[in-house]
Amino acid sequence: NAGVTQTPKFRILKIGQSMTLQCTQDMNHNYMYWYRQDPGMGLKLIYYSVGAGITDKGEVPNGYNVSRSTTEDFPLRLELAAPSQTSVYFCASSYSSSGNTIYFGEGSWLTVV
């Protein structure tokens, strides 16, 4: 009963370092999303994908990259980490974007120092 799995759960990065947040889902969902949530704020859409091989920018894509080589996996790459990228990152998936429930992973807490 895994659902959406994100790794790592916690990470501290130094300014300028790069890393990849992993996300995998076992529900055969076509749609996957990456959001970031700053303290006390809402969720901002970074990137999303409507199926394998298809990705598109969300509200705040700068400083991030994604790929979708399989239906299950949707990794988020941070290049040249900056303090402004300190946030909680949520991966999510849904069967479609029109009303179906979005299932979220447990979140990844990232601090850039």
Partner 1 sequence: GQSLEQPSEVTAVEGAIVQINCTYQTSGFYGLSWYQQHDGGAPTFLSYNALDGLEETGRFSSFLSRSDSYGYLLLQELQMKDSASYFCAVMNRDDKIIFGKGTRLHILP
Q: Applying CB under 8 A, which residues contact partner 1?
A: 31, 33, 35, 41-45, 48, 50, 56, 58-59, 90, 94, 97-99, 101-107
Instruction: Tell me the closest approach of the beta carbon of residue 74 to partner 1, in angstroms.
Output: 14
Instruction: Tell me the closest approach of the beta carbon of residue 76 to partner 1, in angstroms.
Output: 16
**DSSP label at 100?**
P
Which residue's CB is nearer to partner 1, number 14 or number 40?
Answer: 40
What DSSP string describes 15-65? TT--EEEEEEESS--SEEEEEEE-TTS-EEEEEEEEETTEEEE-S--TTEE
Q: How far is CA 6 from the centre of its chain?
A: 8
Which residue's CB is nearer to partner 1, number 14 or number 98?
Answer: 98
Which residue's CB is nearer to partner 1, number 57 or number 69?
Answer: 57
Q: Among candidates 4, 1, 3, which has minimal Cα distance to 74?
A: 4
Which residue's CB is nearer to partner 1, number 14 or number 97?
Answer: 97
Residues linked to residue 88 through DSSP beta bridges, in sequence order: 37, 109
Strands 76-78 and 64-66 come out as antiparallel
Instruction: Tell me the closest approach of the beta carbon of residue 15 to partner 1, in angstroms.
Output: 26
Instruction: Tell me the closest approach of the beta carbon of residue 97 to partner 1, in angstroms.
Output: 4
